[in-house]
């Protein structure tokens, strides 16, 4: 998952309900604390059967609440105080029972009473048996909660505690953070109703059945942009080359291998987009001939005949409609500004992101980046070294601000 400066000093209230997945909340709390969020935890009595208050107090560095009327503490209005304190709430794991309570407006324990007073963005992350998940009552409850503004982070397919596979496993940590990022985002409706296409990662050009031409791109910047567009409410498509990153949730992910594959998938969808961002490290050249069998080691030298791949962004820019916004990347080691502005003009872009790949603590396969944004109107903005998710925030902010 991505480091995120925007979590700094945020008040995150986590409600843990009864379920075997409760132990996974430890990873979530550790991530939030590491990113300088302040975390408070509330638990149902059933949750305490699966994980202890001591564990969660140790990780969150705050006391954990579980009793509506604790004997030794002043408790008359503490459910309201915690609700007022929170910038965002996560119910994780959210049990069948708690989801039903939230939908019905029942407040009969500490967690449900606090949830009744919450007035900030709330993420519900269900986890349960597949048959409970498929129960039409539960699905109807979730649909109604979603209409009320709750964010529903869906569970995953996989091995369940009962010993068989199905949908109901708690969402991965990446997906939980993706939804929390949407919840805390200051401009979560800025792209509502918009279609955003992002290309990410490297391409791989086949030489023979064993070898490829490729580059070091991890795809992290493109994935961060996809998270950012999702957080702003967009309908997002992520066209990505080979990567070790997990696919984001509730985003259309289209895996490709070669530059030609990426062009075909991008062209197929381009006319339906409002924003197109080319963050992929697409090969400039591909072998002229693909060898059907492995090239055997022979002489000391080997020559490959290469041909240029299609300039996808330049090709698509000729088909753009008036409302569409196009963003490109310039990964440079020399004459940074000159080369970036040349691409901006030649490809008729609205914005180009200059990425100095020699910058320490920034660039390819790293969690952070340092970029300069050049707008077609002549303005530019230089960003410091930032986590890539925060870079993505500034890219969209600058693009939409200048629109």
Residues 6+ apart with CB under 8 A from 151: 121, 122, 123, 124, 179, 182, 183
Residues 6+ apart with CB under 8 A from 127: 19, 20, 21, 92, 93, 94, 95, 155, 168, 169, 170
Cα–Cα distance for residue pair 157/155, rounded to 1 Å: 7
Residue 179 DSSP code: H
Task: Please say whether the beta carbons of 92 and 28 come within 8 A.
Answer: yes
Indicate if 135 belongs to the active site: no
Residues 6+ apart with CB under 8 A from 280: 199, 200, 201, 202, 203, 217, 219, 222, 239, 240, 241, 262
Residues 6+ apart with CB under 8 A from 3: 35, 367, 368, 387, 389
Which of these is catalytic: 62, 215, 257, 339? 215
309: left (phi over 0), alpha (psi -120 to 50) or beta: beta
Cα–Cα distance for residue pair 12/14, rounded to 1 Å: 6
Whether omega before 360 lies within 30 degrees of 0, making that bond cis, reads no
335: left (phi over 0), alpha (psi -120 to 50) or beta: left
Q: Which residues are catalytic?
A: 215
């Amino acid at each position: 998952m991505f480091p995120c400066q925007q979590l700094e000093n945020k008040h995150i209230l986590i409600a843990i309900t009864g379920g075997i997945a409760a132990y996974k909340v430890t990873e979530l709390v550790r991530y939030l604390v590491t990113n300088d969020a302040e975390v408070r935890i509330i638990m149902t009595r059933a949750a305490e059967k699966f994980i202890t208050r001591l564990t969660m107090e140790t990780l969150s560095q705050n006391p954990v609440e579980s009793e509506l009327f604790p004997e030794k503490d002043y408790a008359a209005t503490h459910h309201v105080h915690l609700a007022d304190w929170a910038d965002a709430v996560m119910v994780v794991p959210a049990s069948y029972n708690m989801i039903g309570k939230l939908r019905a407006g029942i407040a009969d324990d500490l967690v449900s009473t606090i949830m009744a007073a919450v007035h900030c963005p709330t993420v519900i992350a269900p986890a349960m048996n597949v048959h409970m998940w498929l129960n039409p009552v539960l699905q109807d409850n979730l649909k109604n909660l979603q209409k009320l503004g709750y964010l529903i982070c869906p569970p995953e397919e996989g091995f369940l505690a009962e010993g068989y596979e199905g949908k109901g496993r708690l969402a991965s940590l990446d997906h939980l953070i993706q939804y929390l990022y949407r919840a805390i985002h200051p401009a979560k409706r800025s792209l509502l109703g918009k279609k955003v296409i992002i290309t990410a990662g490297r391409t791989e050009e086949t030489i023979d059945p064993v070898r490829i031409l490729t580059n070091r791109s991890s795809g992290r910047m493109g994935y961060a942009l996809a998270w950012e567009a999702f957080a702003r409410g967009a309908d997002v498509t992520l066209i990505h080359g080979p990567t070790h990153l997990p696919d984001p949730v509730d985003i259309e992910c289209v895996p490709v291998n070669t530059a030609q594959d990426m062009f075909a998938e991008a062209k197929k969808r381009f006319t339906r987009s409002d924003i197109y961002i080319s963050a992929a490290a697409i090969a400039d050249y591909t072998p002229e001939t693909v060898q059907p069998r492995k090239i055997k080691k022979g002489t000391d030298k080997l020559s490959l005949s290469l041909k240029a791949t299609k300039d996808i962004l330049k090709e698509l820019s000729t088909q753009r409609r008036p409302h569409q916004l196009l963003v490109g990347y310039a990964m440079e080691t020399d004459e940074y500004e000159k080369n970036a502005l040349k691409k901006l003009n030649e490809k008729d872009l609205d914005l180009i992101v200059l990425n100095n790949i020699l910058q320490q603590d920034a660039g390819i396969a790293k969690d952070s980046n340092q970029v300069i944004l050049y707008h077609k109107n002549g303005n530019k903005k230089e960003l410091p070294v930032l986590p890539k998710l925060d870079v993505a925030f500034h890219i969209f902010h600058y693009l939409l601000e200048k629109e």
